[in-house]
Amino acid sequence: MDRFRMIFQYFQSNSESVMNGICGLLALASVKMYTSFEFSCPCLPQYNLAYGLGVMFVPPIILFLCGLILNRQSLVMLEEWRRPPGHRKKDLAVIRYMCSSILQRAMVAPVVWIVVTLLDGKCLICAFSGSIDPEKFVGFPNVSTVQVQQLLAKVPCKDDELMRNNTSRKAVSRYLRCCSQALGWSILLILIIAAFLARWLRPCFNQATLLQARHWSNYIDIEQKIFEETCCEHSRLFAHKCILHFFESMQQEIKLHSFSLPREGEEAEGEEGLLQGITDQDQVNKLLKTWYYEKPPLDVS
Amino acid sequence: MDKFRMIFQFFQSNQESFMNGICGIMALASTQMYSAFDFNCPCLPHYNLAYGLGILLVPPFILFLLGFVLNNNISMLAEEWRRPQGRRGKDPSVLRYMFCSMAQRAMIAPAVWVSVTLLDGKSITCAFCTSVPVETLGNASHPPLSQGEIQRLLARIPCKEIYNGQQLIANEVAVRYLRCISQALGWCFVLLMTTLAFLVRSLRPCFSQAAFLKSRYWSHYIDIERKLFDETCAEHARSFAKVCIQQFFEGMSTDLVAARCHLPRKAPANAGEAAEKLLGIIDQGTMNMALKSWHRCKPPLHLHPPALPTGNGWAGEGQPPTHPSAPRRETAAYYSWV
C-alpha cells in the first residue's frame, strides 16, 4: 500500500504542474514555429489578404486543437460528461470548471502566436498593403486604380524590381508596422488586465462552489488514474496466475505420460523446484508448442 | 518475483510513454532528414513533376513503414492474429484496437515530413513550375513562343542561375506565387490532420467508452502475459542449465574416480563452501579433461532426477539408471532455439 500512496501523492501534486508545463511548451513551440517559418508574401493583389490573414489565424486554430488534444483532462471531462448517471449523479458545476480550465490552458499558445505575429508586423503589412490610401503617400504615380493596386501589393517585397528604388515603400511599410505593433501591444495589455482581474475578483464570487468544483474535478482525475493503475496491476496478477496454471497443467500431463515414480516429498528443493517438473528438451518443446497452438483459457479459478 | 514485479511495473507504466518517445524521436528525425537533404530540382520539363512529387510522397511512405518496424508490438499483434484458437477465443475488437493505436503512432512522422515539405515550398515549386499562369503573372508584351519553348523556360524557374525567361515572367514573381500556394496547402494539411486527431480523440468517449476500456485492458494483458511468459521461460532455462551443468560435473567426477580406481577423497568435515563448489574436480588434469569433454561431447538435454533413498529399480521409460562403472554414453544433443 505504501507504493500506492507514493504514486497517489505524485499524481496529485503534479497533475496541475504537468498541464501547466505542456501549456508552456506549446507556447514556446509556437514562437519557435513562427521564427522558423519562412514568411513569403505573394505580392499579388488578391492573394495578399488571404495569405496574410491565413498565416495569422490558421496556426492559432491548429495550436488550440493541439492544446486540447495534448491535455489529458479533456478526455476525463468528456467521459464524465457522457457517462450514464448510474449510481453517481453528475455535477454540472464540476464539468463547467474542468471545461473552463482546459479552455484557458489551450488558449495560451494561440494568443502567443497572434501577439508575436502582430508585434513582428510582416503579416499585417502583407495583408493590408493593398488597402491603404495611396493619396496619403507621395511617390505613387497618378495611374489607374488597377496599376496602383498592383504597385501597392508589391510593397511587402523589398527585392522586387519595381520596389527596389521606391522611397514610398518604406513609408507604407513603417505605417503598417506601426499599426500592427500598436494592435499587438493593445491586445497583450487587455488580456493581461483581464487575467489579473479574473484572478483577483474570483474569490469575491462563489468561493465555496469553486472550492467544491476544484476538489471534485481533482478527484475525478485521480480516480481515473488509479483505476488504470489497478487494471494494470490486476492484469499482471492475472497473467502470472494463468502462466502458473499452464505450467502446472503441463507438469501433470507429463507425469501422466511418463509413468515415473513420484518424487518423495511435496516440494522439490532448490533449482529443481523452479523447473516445475519440466526437465527434458522434448518436454520444453512440447510446452512451447502448446503455448502457441493452445493458449490456456482466461480463467484462473 | 519482486524483481520481476518492478520490471513489469516499469514497462507497464512506461510502455505508453516509451512508444510516445519513439514517435517524437521519429518526428524530429524526419525534420532533421529534410533539412539535411540536398534538394536538387532537375529543371527539365517532365522530370520536375516526378522529382518534386517523389520527394513529397516517397519518404513519408518509408517513414510509415519504419514506424511499424520500430514498434515492438507489431510482432505481438501478428502473433495474436495468427494463433490457432485453441482453448481461448479471439476478440477482433482487441486486434482492431492494437492495430489502430500502432497506425496512429506510425502516421506522425510521415505527416511531419509532408507538412515540413509543403511549408518549405521547394517541392511544389519544382513540381508545378511549368503550370504557372503566365497570362496573369507574366509580361503580356512578350513575343509569342511555342508551347514547348514556354515549358522549357518555365521548367528552369527553380534554378535561378540558368533561368533565362526574365522577359516572359519574373523569377521572383513565379517563385513567390508557387511558394504561397505551397504554404497554403501545408497549413491546410496540418489543420486537417489536427482536426482529424481531435475528432478521433473526442468522439471516442461519446460513443464506445465501455468497449474501449475492454479492448485496452485485454491488449495490455496480452502484452504483459507475453513478457511474463518470456521471463518465466528464461528463468526455467537458467535453472535447467544450472542443473544440467551440475549433473555434468558430477558425472565427470564419478567417471574419473571410476577410471582411476581411486577411492574418492573424502573432504574433511569442516571443508567449507568453497570445497563443495569444486564438485570433486581438484587438479589440473581433471579440469582439462572436464573442459575437453564439455567441448567435444555436451551432455544431452535431459536432466536426471535425484536418486531415491529406497533404491527401488526404475520402471519408467526414458530414465536410464546411472552406473558409476559404465562409460558415459555419448549422445549427440540437438539444440533447437525455440
pLDDT digits (tens, 9 = 90+) for A261-273: 444 444 445 556 6
pLDDT computed for residue B332 by the predictor: 39
Model ipTM value: 0.83
Mean pLDDT of chain A: 84
- For A46, name the nearest residue in chain B, comparing CA atoms only: B177
pLDDT for res B306: 62
Q: What separation in angstroms does the CA of B23 have from each of B76, B103, B104, B108, B109?
A: 18, 11, 10, 7, 7
B88 touches chain A (CB under 8 A): yes
State the Cα–Cα distance between residues A50 and B132, nearest whole angstrom.
Answer: 19
Residue A6 pLDDT grade (very low, low, confident, very high; cuts 50, 70, 90): confident
Contact B117, B55 (CB under 8 A): yes
Q: Where are the alpha helices (DSSP H) in chain A?
A: 2-36, 47-70, 72-82, 92-106, 108-120, 122-128, 145-153, 167-201, 207-258, 270-275, 281-293
Nearest CA in chain B to A159: B172
Is the CB of B242 less than 8 angstroms away from the CB of A271? yes
Q: Where are the domains of chain B?
A: 1-207, 211-260
Facing residue for B170 by CB, picked from A161, A242, A264: A161
pLDDT class for A133, splitting at 50, 70, 90? confident
In degrees and rounded to multiples of 5, residue B302 shows phi and psi of -150, 110
Contact, B301 vs B244, CB < 8 A? Answer: yes
A64/chain B closest Cα distance in angstroms: 10
Q: Which of residues 197-236 of A touch B (CB under 8 A)?
A: 229, 231-232, 235-236
Question: Mean per-residue pLDDT for A115-120?
Answer: 96
Cβ-defined contact of B240 to A242 (cutoff 8 Å)? no
**Inter-chain contact A74–B202, Cβ cutoff 8 Å?**
yes
Confidence (pLDDT) at A268: 45
With CB atoms and an 8 Å threshold, state whether A55 touches B187.
yes
Task: Compare CB distances from A239 to B83, B224, B308 and report the shortest one's residue.
Answer: B224
In order along its 338 residues, chain B shows pLDDT tens digits of 666 665 555 555 556 677 888 888 889 999 999 999 999 999 998 899 999 999 999 999 999 999 888 888 888 888 888 888 878 888 888 999 889 989 999 999 999 999 999 999 999 999 999 999 888 888 777 778 888 888 888 999 999 888 888 888 889 899 999 999 999 999 999 999 999 999 988 888 888 788 888 888 888 888 888 889 889 889 888 988 888 888 888 887 777 777 765 544 554 555 567 767 777 777 788 788 888 888 888 777 787 776 444 434 434 333 344 443 334 444 434 443 43
Determine phi and psi for A261, rounding to 5 degrees: -70, 140
pLDDT for the residue A274: 66
Assign A280 to helix, strand or coil: strand
Closest residue to B205, CB basis, from A44, A78, A258: A78
Q: How far apart are CA A29 and CA B159, in angstroms?
A: 33
**B336 vs B338: CA distance, rounded Å:** 6
Question: Would you state the pLDDT for residue B55?
Answer: 95
C-alpha B233/C-alpha A22 separation (Å) is 42
Q: State whether residue A65 sits within 8 Å of chain B by CB.
A: yes
Strand-pair partners of A280: B302
Size of interface A-B (CB pairs under 8 A): 182
| Contact check, Cβ <8 Å, A159/B172 | yes
Please, which pLDDT band fits residue A283 given cuts at 50, 70 and 90? confident
Q: What sign for the dihedral angle of Cα B244, B245, B246, B249?
A: positive
User: Which of B7, B301, B304 is the best substitution to test chain A (most A C-beta atoms within 10 A)?
Assistant: B301
Question: Which residues in chain B (221-240) have CB-CB distances under 8 A to chain A?
Answer: 221, 224-225, 228-229, 232-233, 235-236, 239-240
Distance CA B262, CA B260 (A): 5
Boundaries of every domain in chain A: 39-204, 209-256
